[in-house]
Amino acid sequence: MINESQREARQHGLGGSDAPVVLGVSPYKTAVELWQEKVGETQPANLDDVEVIEWGNRLEAVVAEAFSDRTGLKLRRRNQTLIDRREPFLLANIDREVVGRPAVVEIKTVRGLDGDDPRVDHLIQLHHYMHVGDYQEGHLVYLVAGQRLVLVDIDLHHAHGTARFLDDLFQRRAQLLG
Protein backbone atom coordinates (compact mmCIF):
# COMPACT_ATOMS: atom_id res chain seq x y z
CA MET A 1 0.00 0.00 0.00
CA ILE A 2 1.28 3.49 -0.81
CA ASN A 3 1.38 6.36 1.64
CA GLU A 4 0.03 9.87 1.22
CA SER A 5 3.31 11.41 -0.05
CA GLN A 6 3.60 8.63 -2.66
CA ARG A 7 -0.01 9.25 -3.68
CA GLU A 8 0.80 12.96 -4.11
CA ALA A 9 3.90 12.16 -6.21
CA ARG A 10 1.73 10.08 -8.55
CA GLN A 11 -0.12 13.23 -9.57
CA HIS A 12 3.03 14.52 -11.27
CA GLY A 13 3.96 11.51 -13.37
CA LEU A 14 2.92 8.14 -14.73
CA GLY A 15 3.08 5.13 -12.46
CA GLY A 16 2.79 1.44 -13.19
CA SER A 17 -1.00 1.36 -12.94
CA ASP A 18 -1.17 4.34 -15.32
CA ALA A 19 0.81 2.62 -18.10
CA PRO A 20 -2.02 0.25 -19.17
CA VAL A 21 -4.46 3.18 -19.06
CA VAL A 22 -2.28 5.25 -21.40
CA LEU A 23 -2.00 2.28 -23.75
CA GLY A 24 -5.77 1.73 -23.75
CA VAL A 25 -5.79 -1.72 -22.14
CA SER A 26 -6.95 -0.91 -18.61
CA PRO A 27 -10.31 -2.35 -17.58
CA TYR A 28 -10.64 0.37 -14.93
CA LYS A 29 -10.35 3.77 -16.63
CA THR A 30 -9.74 5.46 -19.94
CA ALA A 31 -6.82 7.62 -21.02
CA VAL A 32 -9.15 10.63 -21.01
CA GLU A 33 -10.14 9.97 -17.39
CA LEU A 34 -6.47 9.64 -16.45
CA TRP A 35 -5.64 12.89 -18.24
CA GLN A 36 -8.47 14.66 -16.38
CA GLU A 37 -7.01 13.43 -13.09
CA LYS A 38 -3.45 14.45 -13.98
CA VAL A 39 -4.41 18.00 -15.00
CA GLY A 40 -6.67 18.43 -11.96
CA GLU A 41 -10.04 18.46 -13.72
CA THR A 42 -11.19 15.51 -11.61
CA GLN A 43 -9.98 13.80 -8.47
CA PRO A 44 -8.77 10.19 -8.59
CA ALA A 45 -11.24 7.79 -7.04
CA ASN A 46 -10.62 7.13 -3.36
CA LEU A 47 -10.01 3.39 -3.24
CA ASP A 48 -9.28 3.19 0.50
CA ASP A 49 -12.70 1.72 1.30
CA VAL A 50 -12.98 -0.68 -1.65
CA GLU A 51 -13.14 -4.10 -0.05
CA VAL A 52 -11.46 -6.05 -2.85
CA ILE A 53 -8.50 -3.65 -2.70
CA GLU A 54 -8.37 -3.84 1.08
CA TRP A 55 -8.15 -7.65 0.90
CA GLY A 56 -5.53 -7.48 -1.82
CA ASN A 57 -3.42 -5.24 0.42
CA ARG A 58 -3.95 -7.50 3.45
CA LEU A 59 -2.99 -10.62 1.49
CA GLU A 60 0.06 -9.12 -0.22
CA ALA A 61 2.45 -10.20 2.57
CA VAL A 62 0.99 -13.72 2.61
CA VAL A 63 1.37 -14.07 -1.17
CA ALA A 64 4.92 -12.69 -1.00
CA GLU A 65 5.79 -15.29 1.63
CA ALA A 66 4.27 -18.07 -0.48
CA PHE A 67 6.29 -16.87 -3.50
CA SER A 68 9.47 -16.99 -1.41
CA ASP A 69 8.63 -20.48 -0.16
CA ARG A 70 8.05 -21.75 -3.71
CA THR A 71 11.04 -20.10 -5.35
CA GLY A 72 13.59 -19.86 -2.56
CA LEU A 73 13.99 -16.15 -3.35
CA LYS A 74 14.12 -13.72 -0.45
CA LEU A 75 12.01 -10.58 -0.89
CA ARG A 76 12.02 -7.13 0.65
CA ARG A 77 9.69 -4.15 0.52
CA ARG A 78 10.94 -0.95 -1.02
CA ASN A 79 8.89 1.81 0.56
CA GLN A 80 9.79 4.61 -1.79
CA THR A 81 8.71 5.94 -5.13
CA LEU A 82 11.21 5.00 -7.84
CA ILE A 83 11.86 7.67 -10.48
CA ASP A 84 13.16 6.75 -13.93
CA ARG A 85 16.59 8.31 -14.44
CA ARG A 86 16.01 8.72 -18.21
CA GLU A 87 12.37 9.85 -18.15
CA PRO A 88 11.68 11.38 -14.72
CA PHE A 89 7.93 11.52 -15.34
CA LEU A 90 7.89 7.70 -15.07
CA LEU A 91 7.36 6.54 -11.48
CA ALA A 92 7.08 3.17 -9.76
CA ASN A 93 5.78 1.98 -6.41
CA ILE A 94 6.69 -1.69 -6.45
CA ASP A 95 5.32 -4.45 -4.23
CA ARG A 96 8.62 -6.24 -3.56
CA GLU A 97 12.11 -6.72 -4.93
CA VAL A 98 14.32 -9.80 -4.78
CA VAL A 99 17.24 -9.53 -2.37
CA GLY A 100 20.61 -9.76 -4.16
CA ARG A 101 19.17 -9.72 -7.69
CA PRO A 102 17.93 -6.99 -9.99
CA ALA A 103 14.38 -8.35 -9.92
CA VAL A 104 10.95 -6.91 -9.12
CA VAL A 105 7.86 -8.77 -7.89
CA GLU A 106 4.31 -7.59 -8.58
CA ILE A 107 1.59 -9.29 -6.53
CA LYS A 108 -2.03 -9.58 -7.64
CA THR A 109 -5.06 -11.14 -6.00
CA VAL A 110 -7.65 -11.93 -8.65
CA ARG A 111 -10.97 -13.74 -8.91
CA GLY A 112 -9.84 -15.66 -11.97
CA LEU A 113 -7.46 -15.88 -14.91
CA ASP A 114 -7.78 -17.16 -18.44
CA GLY A 115 -5.92 -20.40 -17.73
CA ASP A 116 -2.57 -19.41 -16.29
CA ASP A 117 -2.09 -16.56 -18.75
CA PRO A 118 -1.28 -13.19 -17.20
CA ARG A 119 -3.51 -10.22 -17.92
CA VAL A 120 -2.11 -7.75 -20.44
CA ASP A 121 -2.58 -4.77 -18.12
CA HIS A 122 -0.60 -6.56 -15.41
CA LEU A 123 2.21 -7.42 -17.85
CA ILE A 124 2.45 -3.79 -18.91
CA GLN A 125 2.58 -2.71 -15.28
CA LEU A 126 5.40 -5.18 -14.60
CA HIS A 127 7.33 -4.08 -17.71
CA HIS A 128 6.93 -0.47 -16.57
CA TYR A 129 8.44 -1.35 -13.18
CA MET A 130 11.30 -3.24 -14.82
CA HIS A 131 12.06 -0.22 -16.98
CA VAL A 132 11.82 2.41 -14.22
CA GLY A 133 13.80 0.37 -11.68
CA ASP A 134 16.35 -1.03 -14.15
CA TYR A 135 15.35 -4.56 -13.12
CA GLN A 136 16.64 -7.44 -15.26
CA GLU A 137 13.77 -9.73 -14.38
CA GLY A 138 10.22 -9.48 -13.14
CA HIS A 139 7.88 -11.86 -11.39
CA LEU A 140 4.12 -11.54 -11.59
CA VAL A 141 2.52 -13.49 -8.75
CA TYR A 142 -1.21 -14.20 -8.76
CA LEU A 143 -3.32 -15.51 -5.92
CA VAL A 144 -6.31 -16.78 -7.88
CA ALA A 145 -9.63 -16.96 -6.02
CA GLY A 146 -7.71 -17.25 -2.76
CA GLN A 147 -6.85 -20.84 -3.65
CA ARG A 148 -4.10 -21.09 -6.25
CA LEU A 149 -0.76 -19.40 -6.83
CA VAL A 150 0.27 -18.67 -10.43
CA LEU A 151 3.81 -17.44 -11.12
CA VAL A 152 4.80 -15.63 -14.31
CA ASP A 153 8.49 -14.88 -14.86
CA ILE A 154 9.69 -12.20 -17.27
CA ASP A 155 13.36 -11.70 -18.10
CA LEU A 156 14.99 -8.70 -19.74
CA HIS A 157 15.02 -10.42 -23.15
CA HIS A 158 11.22 -10.72 -23.01
CA ALA A 159 10.97 -7.16 -21.73
CA HIS A 160 13.02 -5.89 -24.68
CA GLY A 161 10.67 -7.76 -26.99
CA THR A 162 7.86 -5.61 -25.67
CA ALA A 163 9.81 -2.35 -25.45
CA ARG A 164 7.49 -0.94 -28.08
CA PHE A 165 5.02 -0.30 -25.27
CA LEU A 166 7.52 2.12 -23.73
CA ASP A 167 8.01 3.89 -27.05
CA ASP A 168 4.24 4.24 -27.27
CA LEU A 169 4.14 5.44 -23.66
CA PHE A 170 6.74 8.12 -24.41
CA GLN A 171 4.81 9.28 -27.49
CA ARG A 172 1.53 9.41 -25.60
CA ARG A 173 3.16 11.19 -22.68
CA ALA A 174 3.22 14.44 -24.64
CA GLN A 175 -0.47 14.06 -25.42
CA LEU A 176 -1.39 13.18 -21.85
CA LEU A 177 0.71 15.57 -19.77
CA GLY A 178 1.67 17.94 -22.58
Q: Which residues pair with 104 in a beta bridge?
A: 97, 138
For position 172, what pLDDT does the model report? 65
Q: Shortest CA distance to 31 belongs to which of 63, 156, 39, 158? A: 39
If one compares 67 and 3, the residue with the highest pLDDT of the two is 67
For 115, residues 6+ apart whose C-beta sits below 8 A from its C-beta are: none
Segment among 37-51, 52-66, 84-98, 140-154 with least mean pLDDT: 37-51
If one compares 78 and 46, the residue with the highest pLDDT of the two is 78
| Measured CA angle at 8 (ends 5, 9), to 5 deg | 90
Domain containing 36 equals: 4-177
CA 159/CA 165 separation, integer angstroms: 10
DSSP 125-147: HHHHHHHHHT-SEEEEEEEETTT
Q: What are the tens digits of pLDDT across the range 63-84?
A: 999 999 999 999 999 989 999 9
CA 154/CA 139 separation, integer angstroms: 6
For position 67, what pLDDT does the model report? 98
Q: What are the tens digits of pLDDT across the range 122-177?
A: 999 999 999 999 999 999 999 999 999 999 999 876 655 555 655 666 566 556 65
Contact 18, 35 (CB under 8 A): no
* Total domain count, the chain: 1
Q: What are the tens digits of pLDDT across the range 91-120?
A: 999 999 999 999 999 999 999 999 899 999
Q: Which residues pair with 114 in a beta bridge?
A: 117
Query: Which band of pLDDT confidence, cut at 50, 70 and 90, is reported for residue 31?
Result: very high
Q: Can you give the pTM of this predicted structure?
A: 0.85
Task: Examine the pLDDT at 9 and tell me if it is beyond 80.
Answer: no
Contact 119, 160 (CB under 8 A): no
Task: Examine the pLDDT at 3 and tell me if it is beyond 90.
Answer: no
For position 142, what pLDDT does the model report? 98
For position 95, what pLDDT does the model report? 97
| Measured CA angle at 74 (ends 68, 76), to 5 deg | 110
The CATH number that applies at residue 137 is 3.90.320.10
Task: Examine the pLDDT at 45 and tell me if it is beyond 90.
Answer: no
